Copies of this chain bind each other. A is one copy, B any other.
Amino acid sequence: MIDPQLTDIAKQLAELKTSAADMATATNIVWTLVCAFLVMFMQAGFALVETGLCRRKNAAHVMAMNFLVYAIGIIGFWAIGFGLQMGGVGAMATFGGDATLSNEVTITLAGKTFGLFGGSGFFLPLASYTPAVATMFIFQMVFMDTACTIPTGAMAERWKFISFVLFTLVISTVIYPIYANWVWGGGWLATLGSNFGLGHGHVDFAGSSVVHMTGGVAALVGAKMLGARIGKFNKDGSPNAIPGHNIPMALLGTFILAFGWFGFNPGSTLAATDTRIAVVAVNTMLASASGAIAAGIYVWTRYGRPDPTWLANGMLAGLVAITAPCAFVSASSALLIGAIAGVLVVLAALFVEQKLKIDDPVGAVAVHGVNGAWGILALGLFSNGTYGDGLNGVSGKVTGLLYGDSGQFFAECIGIVTNVVYVGAMTAIAFFIIGKLVGNRVSAEDELTGLDVPEMGVLAYPEDAEARLPKGMEGSPT
């Protein structure tokens, strides 16, 4: 044996290991970027669904909110939000771990440490602007933007544009990132397991609570504080239907959302090397289908016809509900979760409209808020102990109540309550202050005319004869 030969072999082996690790990093980054792009495209889906389900006279306004929310969210998240959310997340190992954001602000109570928010990574400083951080940044960014765009639907057709701009800044810089920190950034909800033995802590695989409940709760509070559109409720409190102006647009938007969701859920492994992504993708697809079909059967049975807007909202409800549990459940559970979501979204929308007397033009509260909560519960119920070993620092796989772990279910419930209280309160405070500063609602005159010209300076469809109807006809519910 000649030593140099062995030395050379060892060197070659080390090089091969490094190159294999680099390859895994590159593949994980590619996968996560592609998923981020798909999620970004969901902004177009939201824009189309919301605009299609509103009236023509407000189409440019609804579209512009959905457009600008993306840009404003980016600025807010770059400056403040990302640091608050992920500033304590540590090395991002699947992306090569080339930089570390490790400043989590915590408090210690009774000997246990609770993460409150992150404290590094603000304004993406050059020293942290590495492939790993950039990948994490863009992926978290598009999730945040999804949450921000949900309230625009519930508050459409009467929300003042400047108020929308300011609220978007608040939700993207503070409201969303802090809750996201608690669940995904190492904050206190994530450590309910390691601290108190509640399963793996509050687990939300891809954002049923972090993204959808946050958006849905903000939508509920916002829509309540804004009040209903003129003509929505009669004097006796009974609601009038105000049909959307373009059903094909709404369904195209739903398809785009369902397409982008294949980035949303499977991307949330943050790793292509975790081939569970395939199971996640299939569960996502199955729940989207059963949601649409269950909603369709329910409304067909109840109202005589399978109204396409309910088919769409049923699919979206199934998608929202499977978002949390998609990695942890069987195919048949995914179908069941989606089917329940499809019925639940109809019941919830009717409840919001008829009992709460809140006017939510696109059903955002029912789709994202109620089904976000249902998705979290579903994770706590149906997780079958086949995935999630080591998640949130807890060994063993994620297991729901029906498979024996009541602690996991309890941790899920704590997250739901926390979201409702925290997001609800923050939204109310934000709207109150913004309302005092600039006003939240357009004038009745602008609302009757349509918001496009007074707020945006353009008509969405300037050549449509009806868009130039004489005053007096313009405020009709259709």
Interface residues in chain A, defined as those with a beta carbon under 8 Å from any beta carbon in chain B: 1-2, 5-6, 9, 12-13, 16-17, 19-20, 22-27, 29-31, 33-34, 36-38, 40-41, 43-44, 47-48, 51, 55-56, 59-60, 63-64, 66-68, 70-72, 74-75, 78, 95-96, 123-124, 126, 129-132, 134-135, 137-138, 141, 161, 243-249, 251-252, 254-256, 258-259, 262-263, 266, 272-273, 275-279, 281-282, 285-286, 288-290, 292-293, 296, 303-309, 311-312, 315, 330-332, 335, 384, 386, 455-466, 478
CB pair A41 B275 closer than 8 Å: no
Residues of B within 8 A of A96 (CB): 275
Could you give 30 example pairs across A and B, Cβ below 8 Å?
Answer: A1-B1, A9-B13, A23-B23, A23-B273, A24-B26, A26-B27, A26-B272, A30-B277, A33-B262, A37-B38, A40-B259, A41-B256, A47-B248, A47-B251, A51-B248, A59-B247, A71-B289, A71-B292, A75-B293, A124-B330, A129-B282, A130-B279, A131-B275, A134-B278, A134-B281, A141-B285, A247-B460, A248-B460, A303-B457, A464-B464
Residues of B within 8 A of A263 (CB): 37
CB pair A308 B458 closer than 8 Å: yes
CB pair A67 B311 closer than 8 Å: yes
CB pair A308 B247 closer than 8 Å: no
Please name the residue on chain B nearest to A315 by beta carbon.
B71
CB pair B40 A258 closer than 8 Å: yes
- Inter-chain CA distance A325–B309, complex, in Å, is 40
Of A13, A30, A307, A459, chain B has the most CB atoms within 10 Å of the CB of: A30
CB pair B273 A70 closer than 8 Å: no
CB pair A278 B72 closer than 8 Å: no
CB pair A255 B44 closer than 8 Å: yes
Residues of B within 8 A of A137 (CB): 282
CB pair B457 A478 closer than 8 Å: no
CB pair A457 B305 closer than 8 Å: yes
- Inter-chain CA distance A315–B72, complex, in Å, is 12
- Inter-chain CA distance A134–B286, complex, in Å, is 11
Residues of B within 8 A of A24 (CB): 23, 26
CB pair A311 B68 closer than 8 Å: yes
CB pair A456 B255 closer than 8 Å: no
Give A256 Cβ to nearest chain B Cβ, in Å.
7
Please name the residue on chain B nearest to A74 by beta carbon.
B289
CB pair B275 A25 closer than 8 Å: yes
* Option from B134, B252, B293, B463 in Cβ contact (under 8 Å) with A48: B252
CB pair A44 B252 closer than 8 Å: yes
Give A351 Cβ to nearest chain B Cβ, in Å.
21
Of A5, A78, A386, chain B has the most CB atoms within 10 Å of the CB of: A78
CB pair B9 A247 closer than 8 Å: no
- Inter-chain CA distance A385–B145, complex, in Å, is 31
Please name the residue on chain B nearest to A282 by beta carbon.
B134
- Inter-chain CA distance A78–B309, complex, in Å, is 25
- Inter-chain CA distance A59–B384, complex, in Å, is 43
Excluding A19-B20, A47-B248, A138-B281, 15 further A-B contacts by CB distance (< 8 Å) are A12-B13, A16-B17, A20-B20, A24-B26, A29-B275, A30-B30, A37-B281, A48-B252, A55-B463, A63-B308, A71-B311, A72-B289, A75-B289, A96-B275, A304-B457
Residues of B within 8 A of A285 (CB): 40, 74, 138, 141
- Inter-chain CA distance A81–B63, complex, in Å, is 39
Give A99 Cβ to nearest chain B Cβ, in Å.
11
